[in-house]
A and B are shown apart, each in its own frame.
Chain A
Amino acid sequence: MAGLTIDFTDERLPNGLRLVIAEDHAAPVVAINIWYGVGSKHEVPGKTGFAHLFEHVMFQGSAHVAKAEHIGLIQEVGGTMNGTTWLDRTNYFETVPSHQLELVLWLEADRMGTLLEALSQENLDNQREVVKNEKRWSYDNRPYGSWVERILAGSYPAEHPYHHSTIGSMADLDAASLDDVRAFFRTHYAPNNAVLSVVGDVDPGQVRAWVDGYFGRIPANPALPVDLGDLSLPPTFGGERRETVVEQVPLPRIYWAFRAPVFGDPRLDALELAGQILVGGKGSRLHRRLVRDEQLAQDVSLFSLGLIGGASVTAGWATARPGVDLNRLEAAYWEELQRLATEPPSDDELARAKALTETDELGALQRVEERADRLSMYATLFDDPGVVNEILPRYLTVTAEQIRDACRDVFRADNRFVLTYLPAETATADTEAAA
């Protein structure tokens, strides 16, 4: 089955803004997605969580837009929007009826060019409280909610910028100042650090004219890119790591994390297929054995957080059924990883994994919002939006041996971090952290 090919144009304004346009007139809709090459990895010590707090400030107004008006205007034209912050980048996106595109470009340009003109202590303080509530909601007041923070802290050395999560710490959020906002904006929020993708029911000539008109006068920052130094890491942890957390959780859960190749490395494609084989559906190996046959687990998971700086993390979990011996659960999960690291999957298993992956990819790419996101992602991380058309063929040509080899390199006893959550009442061990 042939995949869907996305035709696009790729150009730069004189100030460095990269513009990617893909036409699709199937629906009267357009998606735009701006990726800025700044993420939590650019935060300085004592300022964790700042890139994300800054993302919130981007909705607090600019020279010609009042606080909360950006979102108000988008919604009033029937659009949807959001922003997200990740370790490697921050993005802002809107999907609107196509005749409203010019408004969206104007709004994005205004905050890229003039955010600081509307900056106030009151708005910063307000969004600091909002973000602290986001942290409470997403991490602190949620069973197992600290797992991302713990997995990152356990998988990257303290001096590596992936050691801390995007949400940061309450103390660091409290320490964020207006000067921090100004410095961060002036350093990172420049057209030559941004990719703007426009996908949907548009006239490319008109898009170029608008983008030139609204973004063209925003000056580049010649000091970019920011040098983060050498982020490279050894290919494995070099030893097993363990941590046990005793908390108010209803059922024990074991998380695993492994150091994995960087995003873009073909071995990570092979691990994606491995994930499909291990947990991709009810027919997958871990589901079949742990959930269905041996009934050790309530649920199982395995996925990769693809990152470009030094190493990615491949992580997974299994939630224990009540009364299950956790050693048995851990051993069974591990055995299945080892089995795939030793023997290539069968032809039928691989074909099933590829068929499911193909449907997933085609499903995701149906939406203009996803296409705009991916074009900006590949342009930002790999300097090539065309990777969007290579991903599915890459998945579909992964071999059984490549899957085995990637699993063998990653699922090693000296490359695993095992994080166990135990219910507070039934736990006997105190929190421990062993090397």
Chain B
Amino acid sequence: MSVDSGTTVAKRPVAGEPRPYTFPAFTRTHLDNGLAVIAVDLPGRSLLSGVLVMLGGAADDPDDEAGATVLMGRALSEGTELHDAVAFVEATERLGASIHAEVGWDSVSISVEVPAARFPAALGLAAEMAELPTFPAGDVERLRDERLNDLLQARADPRRRAEDAFIETIYAPSSPYRHSAAGTRETVERLGPAEVRAARSRGFDPGSMTLLVGGDLTGVDVHELAAARFGDWRPDPAAAGSGLVDAAAASRERRIRVVHRPGAVQTEIRIGHPGLARRIPDFHAVAVMSTLLGGLFNSRLNRRLREEKGYTYGASAGFDLRRSAGPFSARAAVNTDVTVPAVVDMMAELERIRTSPPSEAEVRAARDFLIGVFPLRFETPDAVIGSLSSLVVQGLPDDELARYRPAVEGVDVDAAFEAARAHVRPQEAAIVLVGDADAFLPALEAADLGPITVDREGPTSSEASDVDAA
């Protein structure tokens, strides 16, 4: 390993001097109606990216109207008081703009990305969509039926089935995190224009919203532009905004749930429990720990399950950080006949991460990855704007991104180990398996990992005939 082979060079290069990188600076102003306006100048980036973000999202749906905010997001472009749906979409397309709304657990975002010259006009259409949507009944109902059909597709897709079964298993019935943000069949069937309007009015108030604009702002006065497009929008003091989210666990006991899919050639594995909220003091230590556990290619999970055993195309683990505690999960899809050995290996890694400290080299690899990849994440305006928008949504300080790299640099072995001991709890984990139960149940019972329940439901498409397009 030390001499040149004749065709290549044995000696590894040493890195050059890193070019300094700082997260782009931004300015924040406010319109008279309270709308916050954040501008980021990114010279040379001729596509401008704009996002109008509302605080509050799918987690704020009433229990019996779960999915209302997601449906609202889809229905926002179905016409405004100035344009019907077709005229509206044609107007956006003439600008080469795709204006779309995205709904997450904690926010609703209306995004637009378009060459700079067309940005003022496109932002005007985004404002129209935010302020004056009409939510025609026929269109809302069509979108609701599309969502019901999508739920059918989700049950038939092993990946989506596993996600749904996992969150339904780990969260208490009182938590909205127990189901997908798009709601369940029972709740979505109830949704119509009234619920969609209510979802919008929960947060669409300029006094609590933020507009973010990024790209090459030469000749663009973002505040003036925002004032021209959003200045007449009246605040809505009745908007409830976002509140606390119940993220209670269903159980603190280890248990196993198997969803039987006869003949499945792979088993989708999810192992975990309610995890963490985004606003936590040890965020950076958690990032380093979860990266070495299940983020990197050479993470403990991927190395063992893929590169040593060949059980899977990829194994990973991580925390979905939300306003309240989103799920922590370890995940893999493995060939059916190694289901139980794979689960045993995954459980072993979840134990090991909290029983003995990681090595210095592992912590360094994870830290260096997070620090090094940081500038790569922010090559384009939409990525910069997206990260700033999540600061706003999660109520984080303005310097959060600027201090990210030094904070990660400061995570040592003790901090990473402490994060694992505090936040990875295999003894409380649910193990959810979607696959051919008949092929692995005896071995699963013999492995004695916890009490097992098996869902042996009817054929996945049997409900299809219940959904009518009308």
Interface residues of A (CB under 8 A from B): 1, 4, 26-29, 62-64, 67-68, 71-72, 75-80, 95-103, 105-106, 109-110, 112-114, 117, 125-134, 136-138, 140-143, 201, 210, 213-214, 217-219, 248-251, 281-283, 288, 291-292, 295, 298, 321-324, 348, 351-359, 362-363, 366-368, 423-426
Other A-B contacts than A28-B19, A64-B1, 18 sampled, CB-CB below 8 A, are: A4-B46, A64-B5, A64-B9, A79-B373, A99-B15, A102-B13, A103-B15, A106-B13, A129-B309, A134-B313, A136-B266, A137-B313, A141-B264, A250-B152, A288-B86, A323-B469, A352-B94, A356-B98
For A210, the chain B residues whose CB sits under 8 A away are: 13
Alpha-carbon distance between A318 and B74 when the two chains are bound, in angstroms: 20
Q: Which of B144-158 contact A (CB under 8 A)?
A: 145-146, 149-150, 152-153, 155-158
CB of B310 within 8 A of CB of A27, answer no
Q: Which of the candidate stretches B364-372, B411-419, B422-430 sits at the interface with the other chain?
A: B364-372
Q: How far is the CB of B422 from chain A (nearest CB, A)?
A: 25
Q: What is the CB-to-nearest-CB distance from B223 to chain A, in angstroms, rounded to a whole number?
A: 25
CB pair B18 A28 closer than 8 Å: yes
Q: Roughly how many angstroms separate A357 CA and B97 CA in the complex, as a whole number?
A: 10
Q: How large is the interface on B (under 10, 10 to 19, 20 to 34, 35 or more residues)?
A: 35 or more
> Closest 9 CB pairs between A and B?
A78-B372, A129-B310, A355-B96, A28-B19, A113-B7, A102-B13, A352-B93, A99-B16, A113-B8
Partner of B372, one of A71, A79, A214: A79
Compute how far the CA of A250 lies from the CA of B152 in the bound complex, rounded to whole angstroms: 6
Contact B98 A99 (CB under 8 A): no
User: How far is B117's CA from A215's CA once the two chains are assembled, in angstroms?
Assistant: 45
**A359 and B98 within 8 A (CB):** yes
**24 A-B residue pairs with CB within 8 Å:** A4-B46, A27-B378, A28-B375, A71-B297, A72-B297, A75-B297, A79-B372, A79-B373, A95-B376, A97-B18, A106-B9, A129-B309, A136-B265, A142-B157, A219-B7, A251-B149, A251-B153, A295-B469, A322-B149, A323-B465, A359-B114, A363-B47, A363-B113, A425-B462
Interface segment, one of B55-63, B252-260, B282-290, B300-308: B300-308
Docked CA distance A112–B9 (Å) = 12
User: Does B77 make an interface contact (CB < 8 A)?
Assistant: yes
List residues of chain A with CB within 8 A of the CB of B371: 78
Contact check: which of B113, B142, B364, B376 meets A292 at CB < 8 Å? B142
Contact B461 A250 (CB under 8 A): yes
* Contact A322-B464, Cβ < 8 Å, known A72-B298, A102-B13, A283-B89: yes
Q: Quick check: B311 and A129 within 8 Å, CB to CB?
A: yes
B457 CB-CB contact with A under 8 Å: no
Instruction: Given the known inter-chain contacts A77-B372, A352-B90, A359-B98, please indicate yes or no for A248 contacting B461, CB distance below 8 A.
Output: yes
A142-B149 in contact (CB<8A) = no
Q: A114-B8, A126-B310, A321-B145 are in contact. Are A355 and B94 (CB under 8 A)?
A: yes
A137-B266, A363-B47 given as contacts; is B298 within 8 A of A423 (CB)?
A: no
Give B146's nearest chain A residue, CB to CB.
A298
Give A96 to B16 CA distance when docked, in angstroms: 12
Query: Nearest CB to that of B263 among chain A residues?
Result: A248
CA distance A298 to B154 in the complex (A): 13
Smallest beta-carbon distance B455→chain A, Å: 16
Contact A76:B368 (CB < 8 A) given known A71-B298, A218-B8: yes
- Residues of chain A lying within 8 A (CB to CB) of residue B369: 75-76, 78
User: Is B448 an interface residue, CB under 8 A from the partner?
Assistant: no
Q: Which of A136, A322, A357 contacts B468 (CB 8 A)?
A: A322
Docked pose: A257 CA to B470 CA in angstroms: 30
By a CB distance below 8 angstroms, the chain A residues around B397 are none
| B374 at the binding interface (Cβ < 8 Å) | yes
How far apart sit A79 and B15, CA to CA, in the bound complex (Å)? 13
Taking the closest CB of chain A, its distance from the CB of B115, in whole angstroms, is: 5
Report chain A residues within 8 Å CB of B364: 76
Chain B nearest CB: distance from A130 CB in Å?
Answer: 5
Question: Are B7 and A366 in contact (CB-based, < 8 A)?
Answer: no
Question: Chain B nearest CB: distance from A367 CB in Å?
Answer: 6
B464 and A423 contact, CB distance less than 8 A: yes
Shortest beta-carbon distance, A409 to chain B, in Å?
26
B45 within 8 A of A: yes
Q: In the complex the two chains form, is A366's CB within 8 Å of B93's CB? A: no
Q: Give B221 Cβ to nearest chain A Cβ, in Å.
A: 21
Interface: B296 (CB within 8 A): yes
On whether A143 and B156 interact (CB within 8 A), knowing A99-B16, A283-B90, A424-B461, the answer reads yes
Q: A250-B156, A251-B152 known; A100 and B9 CB under 8 Å?
A: no
Assess A359 versus B113: contact at CB under 8 Å? Given A125-B310, A283-B86, A366-B47: yes
Counting CB contacts under 8 A, is B454 at the interface?
no
CA distance A125 to B248 in the complex (A): 44
CB distance from B116 to the nearest CB of A (A): 9
**Known pairs A133-B310, A322-B467, A323-B468; A359 contacts B19 (CB<8 A):** no
Known contacts A27-B379, A72-B297, A355-B94: A218-B152 contact under CB 8 Å: no
B95 within 8 A of A: yes
Residue in A closest to B142 when the chains form the complex, CB atoms: A295
Bitwise interface map of B from 66 to 104 toward A, beta carbon under 8 Å scored 1, else 0 = 000000000001000000011001101111111000000
For A131, the chain B residues whose CB sits under 8 A away are: 313
Contact call A130/B306, Cβ cutoff below 8 A: yes
**Which positions 135-149 of chain B face chain A at CB distance < 8 Å?**
142, 145-146, 149
B333 contacts A by Cβ under 8 Å: yes
Q: How far is the CB of A77 from chain B (nearest CB, A)?
A: 5
- Supposing A64-B12, A426-B464, A426-B465 touch, asked if A114 and B5 sit within 8 A by C-beta, the answer is yes
A292 to B142, CA, bound (A): 8
Given A64-B5, A99-B18, A113-B7, A249:B461 Cβ within 8 A? yes
A76 to B434, alpha carbons, bound, how many Å? 34
Q: Which B residues lie within 8 Å of A248 (CB)?
A: 156, 459-461
CA gap between A359 and B118 in the complex, in Å:
11
Docked-complex contact B153 and A143, CB < 8 angstroms: yes
Q: Is B184 an interface residue (CB 8 A)?
A: no
Docked CA distance A282–B156 (Å): 26
Q: Which residue of B lies closest to A423 (CB)?
A: B461
A140 vs B43: C-alpha distance in the bound complex, in angstroms? Answer: 46
The reply to whether A217 and B8 contact each other, CB–CB distance below 8 Å, is yes
- Choose among A62, A109, A129, A353 the residue with the greatest number of B CB atoms under 10 Å from its CB: A129
Q: Which of B10, B21, B313 contacts A28 (CB 8 A)?
A: B21
Task: Please judge, given known A-B contacts A359-B98, A363-B47, whether A133 and B8 are in contact too, CB under 8 Å.
Answer: no
- B440: min CB distance to chain A, Å: 15
Q: Are A425 and B13 in contact (CB under 8 A)?
A: no
Tell me if B406 counts as interface (CB < 8 A to partner A).
no
Structural contact, A367 and B379, CB atoms closer than 8 A = yes
CB distance from A27 to the nearest CB of B (A): 5
Chain B residues closer than 8 Å to A125, beta-carbon distance: 310
Q: B208 contacts the other chain (Cβ, under 8 Å)?
A: no
- B375 contacts which chain A residues (CB < 8 A)? 27-29, 78, 97
Residues of chain B lying within 8 A (CB to CB) of residue A140: 265-266
In the assembled complex, which residues on chain B have CB atoms less than 8 Å from the CB atom of A351? 94
Residue in chain A with minimal CB distance to B215: A366
If A26-B44, A75-B369, A100-B15 touch, does A424 touch B468 (CB 8 Å cutoff)?
no
B33 within 8 A of A: no
**B368 near A77: Cβ-Cβ < 8 Å:** yes
CB-based nearest A residue for B334 = A133
Inter-chain CA distance A104–B251, complex, in Å, is 47
CA distance A68 to B313 in the complex (A): 14
Enumerate chain A residues within 8 angstroms of B150, measured Cβ to Cβ. 298
Q: Please measure, in the bound complex, the distance between the C-alpha atom of A115 and the C-alpha atom of B151, giving whole angstroms.
A: 47
A99 engages B97 (CB within 8 Å):
no
| Residue pair B310, A217 in contact (C-beta under 8 Å) | no
Indicate if B237 sits at the interface (CB-CB under 8 A): no
Q: Which residues from chain A contact B6 at a C-beta distance below 8 Å?
A: 217
Contact B8 A63, beta carbon cutoff 8 Å: yes
Query: Is residue B312 contacting chain A, with contact meaning CB distance below 8 A?
Result: yes
